[in-house]
Structure 1
Amino acid sequence: MINGADTAFILASAGLVLLMTPGLALFYAGMVRGKNVLGTIMQSLTLIALISLEWVYIGYSMSFGPDIRGLIGDLSWFALRGVGTAPSETYATTIPHTVFMIFQCMFAVITPALIAGAFAERVKFSAFVVFSLLWAVLVYNPVCHWIWGGGWLAKMGVLDFAGGLVVHATCGVAALAAVMVIGPRRGFGQTNFMPHNLPMTMLGTGLLWFGWFGFNGGSALAADEVAATAFVATHLGGMSGMAMWTIMEWIRLGKPTTLGAASGAIAGLATITPAAGFVGPNAAIGIGLVAGVVCYLAVNMKSRFKFDDSLDVVGIHGVGGITGTLLLGVFASKTVNPNGVDGLLAGNASMLLTQLIGVVVVCSYAFIVSWLILKLVQALIGLRISEEAEHQGLDYTEHSETAYN
């Protein structure tokens, strides 16, 4: 039977997750140069339309449709055929099936948008659109089915409460592939690519943090004690990640920065995501503190490899998602979520091994397929804008607009 409170909660959560995509647009746009602001925003906003259409026609059915050998959902729900207002027999039995579908749609929208931060300021809009569509079909949908759609990793016991693997790890390793294939911005290592508007980035941080309560809390799929657990863990993970990153930066550079605080918050939120509904407050704080250290070190390692990950997608989302997925195998406790499992600290060492297998499989698959998609798009239409266009900026050359007079 449909529960009104659960339905209202998931509808509100879906709206919060949608808000994260414009929030991400502002978060990213503040960190690029002024000539690339609108081009950066456009990449996120466009995916609201593009991926939603893909989700309605094939994405939802591929991700959550009837299982084919644990690998993918069939297309029997093409164009949402059979997805009505009655509850789903498989996924969420107290809310309309359409509500579950639209909630999951918002996750599909923001995931490829996250990747765009890695190659900001240098990719053609047409190439971005083609890449994002292919990536959603060939990477996001299969991985989503493996873990959330009853696929083979779910049957193995791999857990991901709200997207440490499905969202953050996949976009992080895809970002790494993109950085390697596309190459650095012109002037990288010689030009100081300073953020043009950090207040805009801080506004984006706030919107992302606010939306994350729907991202993680809504993943309980009911207005219950698990949602409460996830809501509290989300805030504690985010705030402790921000605190630790600020401390690390203060010690290393002598001064804390607003960009560091924002980065730490997003790192903590990304890292707590896979574990949010399975751990208590103290474990959530611990996971956030680890995120502040690990993600800070990862971001600062990119210069050694000469990788131009423009907006730190690999170090924050990729490393954060992987770290959180593994720490779930350490801190998970049935006393927090009776429907979950115990982790290493509760005496179940095998859970950590299961999570490690999930990380290796998902990251390997996402990296290889992302690499192949990038090479295909590069061969067909080219990935990079011209040198002159890069000098003038995406706003004018790709969209005939300027953010500022």
Structure 2
Amino acid sequence: MDSNIKKSLIALAFGTLGLGVAEFVMMGILPNIASSLRITIPVAGHLISAYALGVCFGAIMLLMLRKYPMKNSLLLLVTIMAIGNGIAVISPSYTVMLLARFISGLPHGAYFGVASIVASKIAQEGKESEAVAIMISGMTVANLFGVPLGTFISGILSWRLIFLFIVLWDILTIFLIKRYVPYIAPLPDTGFLGQFKFLKSLAPWLILGATMMGNGGAFCWYSYVTPMFTEVSGFVPEIITALMVLAGLGMVIGNMIGGKLSSFFYPGKVGAIFQGLMAITLLGIFFLSPYKWAAVLLMCIVTLCLFAVSAPQQFLIIKFAPGGEMLGAAGIQIAFNLGNAIGAYLGGLPITYGVGVRYSALIASSIATLGFILFSLFNYLYQPKKSI
């Protein structure tokens, strides 16, 4: 891969890393924020929901950005990231923090939408999925290093420092995008309604549905991985952070594998295989989670599968959303977040009704299986006959 292309993709990955830390670090620092702002942990949990709500509303921004050069759009979106996280640094109350989280979430889906198209356009022919995977890699690195480090710093110093770090990271990202990402002309203007025409086809709905179900299945179980490890597998709480690092490593490896394989095989087939493997692995967790070695190994396979399907999904939605590529790519992030929310809710039901946390994995496997079915149906209907 050309060095200039690599620099451009790394600049884009810096943006997704900042987004990844901003989105996922909240799960580790909620108790600190709750204590600082004098609210309960369940109320502090609304800060996660506010970010997800921002992601959904932020997709509307793409309807306004389509007429502008993509590099300019990226710079604007990262600036909004910095503003939202900057407000979080100085938030004096829960209400202001809630607003900060909503603003921080606004550019999330839009950034992925624009950055996915930029990555695919600057990539060499046949390497589009691999380029998108490099762009997404920032999100996986955030889970591997950023989130555990942020949780640690929050515990010994202040949670506000985490958001200050994200602001500084966003400023660095602006510099890198400005310097290394080439000018790319706006997409053809199809008009306001023209951006929604792709939704008349079944293909994007199958991709979005597979994304929502795949992520829903993973987070139905992953949202409760800590109690499963401590109550079922018998791990001591002190080792959970190290186990989360292993989970993040699985995400990094999965993203690399998914992007690389999609350069050689049809992306839809790659996505379906890993979606099916996720469903089988989640079922294995239900039966084997009492064994420590099995619980850790299967966790890594699930997180690997979770991000192995990301690049294929992002590439396919761009291909099957003519005239609405940005909206389609952002829709993947909306589906991702909806899947997280629905999966986390369903995964909590066995715990609420006293059945046991292991049953979250059983429900998760069923949801992931639905994702596999949708991906398989997509391949049956739309996979080119001569593709591998």
TM-score, with normalisation over the residues of structure 2? 0.35
